[in-house]
Amino acid sequence: MVYLMGLVTLLVFPIPVFLALYFTDGITLFDFLFPTQISIVNIVIGVLIGVAYALIANRIMKHPIFDDIPIKVDELVKSMNLTIFDSIFLSLCAGIGEELLFRVGFQHYLGVIITSILFVAIHGYLNPFNWKFSLYGLVVLPLSFLLGYGYTWYGLWFVIALHTSYDLTLFLAFKENKEELVE
């Protein structure tokens, strides 16, 4: 099931976006996947920012205010019993598939601000029925803005690296559940 979820995110999410861009703007598959040149420096910076943001978010989520949230993200991930390979696979699938969908697609039509809010909302982190869960949404909302503006300034592969490293860091932190990762 984990692999199916990952493959759907990686392979299915980008299809409607590519088709919309192809028919409305004449974007080729190559331009869709490589809208800017690949920069190793931008990828490394994206990885570093993603890891740092994940460690900060993980630390914030340990605050007692998050204790009585009905569905905690870390507990949900732990319940999936992911291996390290599973974590890497899902992180790559989400980093690539979601950024193609949101940054290359939605952001092209809706702009950075609306796309960033939509990104957090679709993940379920903005919940009008549970204000404490929405607090986590407020923790990840700046990350979503960073992804949006990062795409504009540094390109697709920067945000893929940032998103992938953020997810992978959290998956590994939740899996290990070690306090020393954030202290």
* pTM of this structure: 0.89
C-alpha 144/C-alpha 15 separation (Å) is: 22
Residue owning tokens 């869960």:
133
Question: Torsion angle, CA of 116/117/118/122, rounded to 10 degrees?
Answer: 110
Question: Torsion angle, CA of 168/151/122/11, rounded to 10 degrees?
Answer: -70
Does 153 score more than 70 pLDDT? Answer: yes
Residue 18 sits in which domain range? Answer: 2-181
From 182, 181, 170, select the one nearest 74 (Cα to Cα).
170
Does 147 score more than 50 pLDDT? Answer: yes
Stretch 95-115: mean pLDDT: 96
Of the ranges 35-49, 65-79, 155-169, which is most confident? Answer: 155-169
From 144, 170, 165, select the one nearest 56 (Cα to Cα).
170
Q: How many domains does the chain have?
A: 1
Stretch 98-115: mean pLDDT: 96
Does 171 score more than 80 pLDDT? Answer: yes
